[in-house]
Amino acid sequence: MQRQFGAMLQPGVNKFSLRMFGSQKAVEREQERVKSAGFWIIHPYSDFRFYWDLTMLLLMVGNLIIIPVGITFFKDENTTPWIVFNVVSDTFFLIDLVLNFRTGIVVEDNTEIILDPQRIKMKYLKSWFVVDFISSIPVDYIFLIVETRIDSEVYKTARALRIVRFTKILSLLRLLRLSRLIRYIHQWEEAGRQASLEVLGLRGEVLCDMALYGVQSWLWSGEASADMPFLVQLIAALMLSWSPGPLPD
C-alpha cells in the first residue's frame, strides 16, 4: 500500500511523461530523484498531483460561482449548507497550502524541476504563499467568533448589521483564489495538458468574469435592489459584469 502511494507521487511512464522527458530512462531517472529527495516530496508531473490539481480546479470554479452569489443575493450566510461548503472549501485549500510546500517546482524555462525541500519552501514563501494563505483562512468566521465572545448582548444586537456587512467584505478575500486558479491553468497549459482544460471549459477570462459579476453586483445591490427577485438581481449582475460602463446609481 505504501509502495503504491509512493509511486503515485512519482511521474509515471506514460505518453505525457515520455513527451516531457524524452525517454523511458529519463523518466526512471526522475523517479529516482523523487525517491532520494526525501519523505513526501510530490513530483509536479505525478498522478497524485494531476488528480489533486483537477480536484482543486473544480473546487475553485465552484468557489468563484457560489461565493459571489451567496454574499450578494442571500442575507443569511449562517445556514448549514453555506457553512458546510465554506468549511469543506477552506479545509481543502489549507491542505493544498501544505502540499505546495512538498510539491516540486518547474522552473519557468522548463530546464529544471526543483525537488529539494528547502528550495521548494523558500521559493514558495517568496512567491505565492501570502496570497494563498490569505485566501485560505476563514477570516469572516474568525471575526464573527471574536465579536460574539467580546460583545455584550445589547452591544452585539446594535452592531449586528454592521458586522454582517463587514463579514461580507471579508468573504470577498476568498476570491483571491482566482489567482491560484489562473496559476494552475497556466501550469497545465505549460505542461501540455490543454486538452484536459478544454474538456472542462476552463479559460482565465471566463473565470475572471465569474468573479467580476459577483463583486460588481454586490457593490450595486443596495436597499433599492434588495427587494428585487433573485433572478432579476442575477441577470442584472451578469449584464453589469459584461458591460464596460459604470455601475448604476
Question: What's the pLDDT score for residue 223?
Answer: 43
Vertex 141: Cα angle to 139 and 146 (nearest 5): 95
Question: What's the pLDDT score for residue 208?
Answer: 53
Q: Which residues pair with 105 in a beta bridge?
A: 114
Question: What's the pLDDT score for residue 212?
Answer: 52
Q: Where do the domains of the chain lie?
A: 2-241
The residues, any chain, with a CB within 8 Å of residue 116's CB and separated by 6 or more, are: 37
Instruction: Please state the pTM of the whole predicted model.
Output: 0.68
Each of the 249 residues of the chain gets a pLDDT tens digit; together they read 677 888 899 998 888 888 888 899 999 999 999 999 988 899 999 989 989 988 888 887 787 778 777 766 666 666 788 888 888 988 998 999 999 999 999 887 667 899 999 999 999 999 888 888 887 887 767 766 766 565 555 444 444 444 444 455 555 566 665 666 667 666 656 555 554 545 445 555 555 555 555 545 444 444 445 555 555 555 555 555 545 544 444
Question: What's the pLDDT score for residue 192?
Answer: 56
Question: What's the pLDDT score for residue 42?
Answer: 95
The continuous run of DSSP H or E covering 227 comes out as: none
Q: What are the helix (H) ranges across the chain?
A: 2-8, 15-21, 24-37, 47-73, 80-100, 117-126, 129-136, 139-150, 153-158, 160-171, 177-190, 194-200, 204-220, 223-226, 230-241
Distance of CA 50 to the CA centre of its chain: 15
Question: What's the pLDDT score for residue 162?
Answer: 44
Question: What's the pLDDT score for residue 170?
Answer: 55
Cα gap 84→90, rounded to integer Å:
10
